Amino acid sequence: MSVIAKICGINDETAMRTAIEAGARFVGLVFYPPSPRALDPDTAATLAALVPAGVAKVGLFVDPDDALLDAVLTKVPLDLIQLHGDESPARCLDIRERTELPVMKVIKVANAADVEATHAYAGAVDWLMFDAKAPKEMPNALPGGNALAFDWTLLSAHEWPVPWMLAGGLNADNVTRPCLLRAPPSSMYHRAWRPRRAARTRNEFGRFSKRWEAFDGFPVEQTNNDV
């Protein structure tokens, strides 16, 4: 099985062009000021203009308020919103309905209970991402992008009827290991997980989801560390 890559934290034109030329299917733009990879909407718009059709532009937010979402989406044509904070299922659903964009919720994993918590997001999100939870003693830890891996076998006993992605501590030596743990992430929807949203938006997401169903591979995220 091949690997489908999302490169996150892109913050200059060289990094964007390199990611696209290398075959990234998702490119991530960070809108979280404490991150060294954070962008303002104008810079993000310039980078987004470089992205060809068929590559998803993902906006990473951490517990965003509506004002921040509006400021970014007014200028940046995102395809997917990634929520990397402590957003509740209700807030995820609110953001999805308000922006009319698919939402990916990041689940920070340290143990089996963290994985079980994903089921609370049924019907509220369109994608999941699993990343390592930073230990409390880790200095200057960010919500994600800390180059930490968790025990990926915690995922092997679960099935999610939404597409999902793996992040954290991936490198050239281990990136294929998650593919051996289980079947590839599903992009089919169980009734309990189907988005509760207006028909027009559902149809828009239907076209969006079919684009990713054409991907034959295992989605993983790698952070751009050249900053």
168-200 pLDDT, tens digit each: 666 666 665 655 555 444 433 333 334 444 333
**What CA–CA distances, in Å, run from 225 to 5, 147, 176?**
15, 10, 20
* Domain boundaries along the sequence of the chain: 3-223
Rounded distance between C-alpha atoms, residue 100 and residue 134, angstroms: 31
* Predicted local confidence at residue 3, as pLDDT: 65
* Predicted local confidence at residue 221, as pLDDT: 55
* Predicted local confidence at residue 212, as pLDDT: 42
Token digits for 206?
């239907």
DSSP letter (8 states) at residue 135: P
User: Is the CATH number 3.20.20.70 carried by domain 3-223?
Assistant: yes
Residues 6+ apart with CB under 8 A from 134: 108, 141, 142, 143, 146, 148
**What CA–CA distances, in Å, run from 142 to 34, 36, 85, 168?**
8, 10, 10, 12
* Ranges of residues in the chain whose predicted pLDDT is under 70: 1-3, 134-150, 152, 157-158, 168-227
Rounded distance between C-alpha atoms, residue 198 and residue 44, angstroms: 29
* Predicted local confidence at residue 28, as pLDDT: 95
